[in-house]
Amino acid sequence: MSAYLNGEFLPLAEARISVLDRGFVFGDGVYELVPVYSKKPFRLDEHLRRLQGSLDNIRLANPHGVAEWRELILRLIDLQDFADQSLYIQVTRGTPDEGQSPRDHAFPKGVPPTVFMFAQPLVTATPEQKAVGVCAVTAADNRWLRCNIKAISLLANILLRQQAVDADCAETVMLRDGFLTEGAASNIFVVKDGVLMAPPPSNLMLTGITYDVVLELASAHGIPHEVRVISEAELRAADELWMTSSTKEVMAIVKLDAAPVGAGVPGPLAQRMDGLYQAFKQQVMRT
């Protein structure tokens, strides 16, 4: 597996950073995860736009322009000997120089950010897994109020996701003040009486690239949909629940806190949207 680190392409196992890197010491950085199908990055411009937003939010200058990012990413994709990839991009606030305090909350002065990328084989759900669906648990969303930043400091998300793992489930669905926010590592959609619903983008959630694609596909195919706040009662009365992310794509949640969602099997709209999503991917790969 090849990686990219600060201007150099090298085997992943050989990539090294300082222990004083702000990413390691403080979790002071942001990231992206781009799915790559048949060596073609999916929605790269959108991922790079979200990365720019995250960098702006943490007041870190983007070390590369879009064309430069694109070139580096395409080179890294090309270096891998597998076609479907999950490409990880991380930018941290770098390592303080000698002469600067090695560990100070204040931004270091004049140091370049650390840029790290690597790709691993992309593992998406099989049709068999999609036909079964997954279970989820709920938890209070106890994260900070800047969840729109794709920050590498994921401790809250990790602890929340582990609650699902401990219950042999795939995801933790979060509620803040009685309203649905998102999953620990995904966005959540609700279907009721044939209407697809999604919480509105805000500082309380990360707007997924997959979330946007799903809503675009709903518009393009005349699927009734509403982007609005969703209460806990609506979540629990859903006919269908989906989790969406770049790696999970569109996955039906068939059990929530051990209670069946709707009929307790993946619903018709989930199956339709998954079909539309797969077709859209194929179309993008051909262009």
- Report the interface residues with ligand PMP, using CB under 6 A: 33, 157, 182, 185-187, 206, 208-211, 244-246
Q: How far apart are CA 36 and CA 18, in angstroms?
A: 29
Active-site position among 40, 150, 248, 281: 150
Nearest distance from C-beta of residue 136 to ligand PMP, angstroms: 14
Q: Which is nearer to ligand PMP, 204 or 261 (CB)?
A: 204
User: Quick check: 32 and 89 in contact, CB under 8 A?
Assistant: yes
Tokens of residue 208, six digits: 């997924």
Nearest distance from C-beta of residue 244 to ligand PMP, angstroms: 6
Q: Which is nearer to ligand PMP, 77 or 147 (CB)?
A: 147
SS (H, E, C) 58-81: CCCCCCCCHHHHHHHHHHHHHHCC
φ/ψ of 57, rounded to 5, equals: -65, -30
Q: How far apart are CA 29 and CA 107, in angstroms?
A: 12
User: Quick check: 200 and 227 in contact, CB under 8 A?
Assistant: yes
Q: Taking each helix axis from N to C terminus, what angle separates 44-57 and 209-220, rounded to the nearest 10 degrees?
A: 130
Q: Which residue is nearest to ligand PMP (CB)?
A: 208
Q: Which is nearer to ligand PMP, 30 or 261 (CB)?
A: 30
Q: How far apart are CA 274 and CA 241, in angstroms?
A: 13
Q: How far apart are CA 220 and CA 236, in angstroms?
A: 28
Tell me whether residue 272 is exposed, middle or buried, using C-beta atoms within 10 angstroms of its C-beta: 0 to 12, 13 to 18, 19 or more.
Answer: middle
Nearest distance from C-beta of residue 211 to ligand PMP, angstroms: 6
Instruction: Give the position of tokens 């009486």.
Output: 193
Query: Among candidates 282, 273, 268, which has minimal Cα distance to 218?
Result: 273
Tokens of residue 257, six digits: 């806190």
Nearest distance from C-beta of residue 134 to ligand PMP, angstroms: 15
Determine whether 150 is an active site residue.
yes
Nearest distance from C-beta of residue 199 to ligand PMP, angstroms: 11
Query: Among candidates 151, 143, 210, which has minimal Cα distance to 175?
Result: 143
Q: Which is nearer to ligand PMP, 92 or 210 (CB)?
A: 210
Q: Which is nearer to ligand PMP, 89 or 254 (CB)?
A: 89
Q: Which is nearer to ligand PMP, 66 or 156 (CB)?
A: 156
Nearest distance from C-beta of residue 32 to ligand PMP, angstroms: 8
Active-site residues: which are they?
A: 150
